[in-house]
Amino acid sequence: MNLFIKNLAKNPLVRFMASLKITVICLALLFILTLWGTIDQVGNGLYAAQEKFFFSFYFLGFGFIPFPGARLVLWVFFFNLLAVTVTRFIHYKLKSIGIIIIHLGLLSYFFAAFVTFHATKETYLQLLEGAGSNLSSYYRDWEVSIWKGEDNPRNVTSVDAKLLKPGFSLQLNDFGLEFHVTQFLTNSDAYLEQPQEGTEYLNASGIKSLKKISPNIEPEKNMAGGTFLLKDKKGELKNLLLFGGEVRPTGLSINDEIVYFQLRKKRHELPLTLKLVDFRMKKYPGTDMAKSYESLVEIDANGLKRQVLIYMNHPLRYKDYTFYQASYAIDKLSREYSTLAVVKNPGKFLPYFACFLTFAGLVIHFMSSSFQKKK
């Protein structure tokens, strides 16, 4: 092993990658990207800025200048750090222990970022007081859900909206149905008027047509919509229109059975059921300024029921899941809803570890170098 590392350290590519100049270039590029990505949020919103500057390998600055994205820079930085570890830190001396710990801490940050980036699932759960659910919704992802009216419990088949491109078709054998996509819009407006020359669609809410609108800078506010062609066993064709803003599903008679269709935010099944017992908002006396928001929920995990209070800065943690008090709403009937952000992050404690390690390294290094200078 030692010999392998020694040989590796002599490898010209590894020696090149261990260059301090690469480190400085990476830091400078990250500085530029962070600043640019921050300012870009003003016009294009957080999501677009994240995708363009931080989650990409490259992008075109001002529409024509190729520029490395933070993802590429971080990968180069990671290999630079690995190469430095192999070539330099391997010959460690006690006086440079702080430096080694700092850089090991940074390597753990890369690992934490990798796990978090690829394994985190962010969803939300909106509950009406008294209501419960074990399904949370994704913020931006949509699906078409299909189920038979007579099923109890409901057996739902879902088609991910990422597949829904015009021309896409699917054979749904359980329903004896061919499902064709004729149109899918990421963000749309729905209209009740029938266009003069247009297909007549079936829709439970009476929506006759959809109009494409430009995507919102906050993608969670997009309202998807689509039109579909359904063909049953007899070859009978039906034109279906679904809109993301609909509350009711559209029920159609397919092969003499009622089948329901709904375009909704993609669901995620939770390992427990949450019921909102009470939502409370406290205000500072004499003002409309909120002092705290809290949701009293009853959780049912494998038949074990207990009540938990979720409030700002005090989430509920269950296995890999964390439930946070995110927002609230009051409808026209004065009913209170609480929205809980649900995050599944198997690597949530990794950044904590990386932070501790790097901070400890910084303290050891700067303290020891200050003493060395004193001597």
Partner 1 sequence: MFKKNFITFFLWVLLWGVCSAQEICPLNAKPPAELKSLKEFSAIAILHNGRVKPMDTYARHVLLQFSGKGKYEKQEPIRWLTGVLFGNPELLEQKVFLINNPEIAETLGIEPEKGRRYSFAQLEKGLPLLIDLAQRAWDIDEKNRSIVENEIIRVESNIRLFIQLTHVFQFAAPHPDFQIQNKTLKKELEFPEAQNYFNFLMVALRAEKLNELTRDLENKENSLWTETEKEAYQLISNLYSWSMYYNNLPIHIIPFFQHETHDWLSPWDTIHFSFNDPDIRKEIYFLSDMYQAKLGGDQIRFDLAVRSFSNSVENRLKREGAGSKYLRLELFSNQLQAFFWAKFLYLFSFLICMMALIKTNKVFYRVAWILVGGGFLIQAIGFIMRVVILQRPPVSTLYETFLFVSFISVFVGLIIERFSKNWLGLIISSISGFVFLMIASRFAAEGDTLKMLVAVLNSNFWLSTHVVTITIGYAGVCVAGVVGHIYILQSIFRPHQQELLKETQRILLGTLAFGLTMTFLGTNLGGIWADASWGRFWGWDPKENGALLIVLWIAMLFHLKVGRMIGALGLAIGSVLGCIVVMWAWFGVNLLSVGLHSYGFTSGLARNLLIYVLVQLLFLTLTIPLIKRK
Residue 314 C-beta: closest distance to partner 1, Å: 8
Confirm or reject binding of residue 302 to partner 1 (CB under 8 A). Answer: no
Bridge partners of 341, per DSSP, are 124, 324
With CB under 8 A as the rule, give the number of residues binding partner 1.
Answer: 58
Bridge partners of 339, per DSSP, are 126, 327
Among 60, 119, 290, 329, binds partner 1 (CB under 8 A): 290
Among 6, 10, 13, 38, binds partner 1 (CB under 8 A): 38
Site string for partner 1, 328-367 (x = CB under 8 A): -------------xxx-x--x--xx--x--xx--xx--x-
φ/ψ (deg, to 5) at 230: -110, 140
Residue 278 C-beta: closest distance to partner 1, Å: 13
Confirm or reject binding of residue 20 to partner 1 (CB under 8 A). Answer: yes
Note whether 311 and 296 are within 8 A (CB).
no
Confirm or reject binding of residue 219 to partner 1 (CB under 8 A). Answer: no
Residue 22 C-beta: closest distance to partner 1, Å: 10
Confirm or reject binding of residue 171 to partner 1 (CB under 8 A). Answer: no
Region binding partner 1 by CB under 8 A among candidate stretches 111-119, 178-186, 229-237, 249-257? 111-119
Residue 164 C-beta: closest distance to partner 1, Å: 28
Among 59, 147, 279, 324, binds partner 1 (CB under 8 A): 324
The identity of residue 68, as a single letter, is P
Please tell me the number of Cα atoms within 13 Å of 371 on its side-chain side.
Answer: 6
Confirm or reject binding of residue 27 to partner 1 (CB under 8 A). Answer: yes
Residue 344 C-beta: closest distance to partner 1, Å: 10
Among 119, 131, 237, 312, binds partner 1 (CB under 8 A): 312
Confirm or reject binding of residue 37 to partner 1 (CB under 8 A). Answer: yes
Residue 58 C-beta: closest distance to partner 1, Å: 18
Confirm or reject binding of residue 68 to partner 1 (CB under 8 A). Answer: no
Provide Rg for the chain, Cα atoms.
27
Confirm or reject binding of residue 327 to partner 1 (CB under 8 A). Answer: no
Among 126, 273, 322, 339, binds partner 1 (CB under 8 A): 322
Q: Give 237 or 290: the residue with its C-beta nearer to partner 1.
A: 290
Site string for partner 1, 228-267 (x = CB under 8 A): ----------------------------------------
**Residues in contact with 44: Cβ distance below 8 Å, sequence separation at least 6, in sequence order:** 52, 217
Q: Name the token pair of 161.
A: 């909206």
Confirm or reject binding of residue 225 to partner 1 (CB under 8 A). Answer: no
Residue 242 C-beta: closest distance to partner 1, Å: 30
- Nearest by Cα to 209 from 222, 218, 219, 196: 196
Distance CA 75, CA 77 (A): 5
Confirm or reject binding of residue 83 to partner 1 (CB under 8 A). Answer: no
Distance CA 89, CA 92 (A): 5
Among 89, 293, 318, 337, binds partner 1 (CB under 8 A): 293
Interface residues with partner 1 (CB under 8 A) are 20-21, 23-24, 27-28, 30-31, 34-35, 37-39, 41-42, 45-46, 49-50, 54, 112-113, 116, 120, 122, 283-287, 289-293, 312-315, 322, 324, 326, 341-343, 345, 348, 351-352, 355, 358-359, 362-363, 366, 369-370, 373
